[in-house]
Structure 1
Amino acid sequence: MKTLESTAPFHTEIGGVLVSARGLQKSFHGRTIMRNVDFDMHAGDITVIIGKSGSGKSTMLRALAGLTEPDEGTIDFDGVRVFEDQQRTEAWADKSFHVGMVFQTYTLWPHMNVLDNLTLAPRKRLGMSGSEARDRAESALAEVGMKQHILSRCTQLSGGERQRVAIARALMMKPRLLLCDEITSALDPPVAAEVLEVLRRLKAEEGIAIALVTHDMAFASKAADRLVFFQDGEIAVNTTPELAFTRSDNEELNKFIDAVRF
């Protein structure tokens, strides 16, 4: 069976603007969750997104991933308009191949082994052959240090190992943008540090742009290229980690960092 790769070529080089969102707004049941959000991401950067629960962080990630449709605003990806007029454009069908998302709860199939979890979507969505899918799975697992577990059942793995498998599964589609929503919040600090190190390596070696919602301020201060602080549905601060942690004039950001850092 012929592999059906994305028909859209990828244009954005490292350092260029990969994602550009303007005027994003979203309400649920009369409550505004996200308002007036303008947001850019550069290829090869790690953007850490922080803020209180319900401040709009995860809603923005889901909007970028195509899992939530904003009520207003536009989204450009790789220089192409993929969302406007409250709906995805025709270009999204091709560009969505370049976007991966990893969730806090792994979302792995417990009755399948690691190999089957990784190859299910590529074989069904891309028409990939079994041998080609296995080759890509081995490569993706090697990138996250899990190649030796390719035939293990997910129920046999630790939390950190499952999260690495979830990242490898997202890599199966060869994304240029990886969205991570609280992926280390249920892990012990040493294990979380290992998972976050995997993301740093992917950024450095593969040039993947990563948007990461987290409460891990140690990672935010060391690994992020940009730090975005959500406050009441809006982006209140968008700056470098150095400025956010040392010279921010936003008192709510300072209070948030102090509260979660210790």
Structure 2
Amino acid sequence: MGDVLVAATGLQKSFGDRVILKNVDFGMALGDITVIIGKSGSGKSTLLRAIAGLTDPDEGTIAFDGRVVFEEGERTDDWADVESHVGMVFQSYTLWPHMDVLGNMTLAPRKRLKLSASEAADRAEVALGEVGMAHHLRSRPSQLSGGERQRVAIARALMMQPKLLLCDEITSALDPPVAAEVLDVLRRLKAEEGLAVALVTHDMAFAAKAADRLVFFHEGEIAVNTTPDEAFNRSTNPDLKKFVDAVRF
């Protein structure tokens, strides 16, 4: 573990009578790739959304880069200062079809960071270059493949210059070779930019290749937190073994 980037303690979250997170403690180091696996509805995506500020836990605390950003049921004043350092990428890309790549890339930074058009365009070129998509600056999303759209979505998140990238099932709709390309992008960003990545996936082959740490959620709790080699080859947790056998690569 390097420098602690995320430290979440005692997170609890319910939707109606359904308990999604049960006293979850979760941490990440700067520059690590943490892969989160588990059944649908086990709490994986809710954890990412809580870290990203898209949903608030009912209880618990979240610290980011040494600053408490959530406690006592609400975001603290420090959240406004660090929010832009947390980027999130979704399975559905969420690209505006009527805009070209440049427009999709620059919309949020111009509004949230108050960048000028030229500053945002310059930053977009750099971000697209980091994911191998610089030549698609003026392309429309409909002209791109699924893997290319996912790369643009990653580049768009990089526009905010995050320290942490949260990825929710970003390879589930991609063929294995294309998913491998996306993994290469994430690894390069980790190596060159020191970016930390938390990634939810049901693809065990992807998880085994990507993860520095592997977290297994079971019924709203973190049941296993270890290396991928230990998780897939030596873990004695019966729920993890059952889950992996059901989706074994």
Instruction: Tell me the distance in 2 between the aligned counterparts of 1:16 and 1:41.
Output: 9
Task: Tell me, yes or no, if structure 1 residue 113 matches structure 2 residue 100.
Answer: yes
RMSD over aligned Cα atoms: 0.9
Task: Tell me, yes or no, if structure 1 residue 222 matches structure 2 residue 209.
Answer: yes
Q: How do 1:28-107 residues align onto structure 2 when only pairs under 5 Å count?
A: 28-107=15-94
Cα-to-partner distance string for 1:181-206 (whole Å, 9 max, x where unaligned): 00000111111111111111111111
Counterpart of 1:143 in structure 2 is: 130
- Structure 1: stretches of 5+ with no match in the other structure: 1-13
- Structure 2: stretches of 5+ with no match in the other structure: none
Using the TM superposition, give the Cα deviation of residue 220 of structure 1 relative to its aligned residue in structure 2, in angstroms: 1.6
Counterpart of 1:247 in structure 2 is: 234
Query: Among residues 113, 118, 121, which one is paired with 1:134 in the alignment?
Result: 121
Q: How do 1:167-206 residues align onto structure 2 when only pairs under 5 Å count?
A: 167-206=154-193
Using the TM superposition, give the Cα deviation of residue 104 of structure 1 relative to its aligned residue in structure 2, in angstroms: 0.4
Using the TM superposition, give the Cα deviation of residue 15 of structure 1 relative to its aligned residue in structure 2, in angstroms: 1.6
SS in 1 for 2:247: helix
Using the TM superposition, give the Cα deviation of residue 29 of structure 1 relative to its aligned residue in structure 2, in angstroms: 1.4
Instruction: Tell me the distance in 2 between the aligned counterparts of 1:258 and 1:108.
Output: 35
Identity of aligned residues (%): 77
Instruction: Tell me the distance in 2 between the aligned counterparts of 1:141 and 1:260.
Output: 33
How high is the TM-score relative to the length of structure 2? 0.98
Instruction: Tell me the distance in 2 between the aligned counterparts of 1:261 and 1:174.
Output: 36
Structure 1 runs of 4+ off > 2 angstroms? Answer: none
Letter in 1 for 2:180: A
Cα-to-partner distance string for 1:128-157 (whole Å, 9 max, x where unaligned): 011111110000000101000000011111
Using the TM superposition, give the Cα deviation of residue 223 of structure 1 relative to its aligned residue in structure 2, in angstroms: 2.3
Using the TM superposition, give the Cα deviation of residue 72 of structure 1 relative to its aligned residue in structure 2, in angstroms: 0.3
Instruction: Tell me the distance in 2 between the aligned counterparts of 1:113 and 1:257.
Output: 40
SS in 1 for 2:20: strand
Using the TM superposition, give the Cα deviation of residue 27 of structure 1 relative to its aligned residue in structure 2, in angstroms: 0.3
SS in 2 for 1:35: strand
SS in 2 for 1:68: coil
Paired residues, what number?
249
Counterpart of 2:220 in structure 1 is: 233
SS in 2 for 1:261: coil
Cα-to-partner distance string for 1:154-192 (whole Å, 9 max, x where unaligned): 111111110000000000000000000000001111111
Cα-to-partner distance string for 1:59-104 (whole Å, 9 max, x where unaligned): 0000000000000000000001000011000000011010000000
Using the TM superposition, give the Cα deviation of residue 261 of structure 1 relative to its aligned residue in structure 2, in angstroms: 2.2
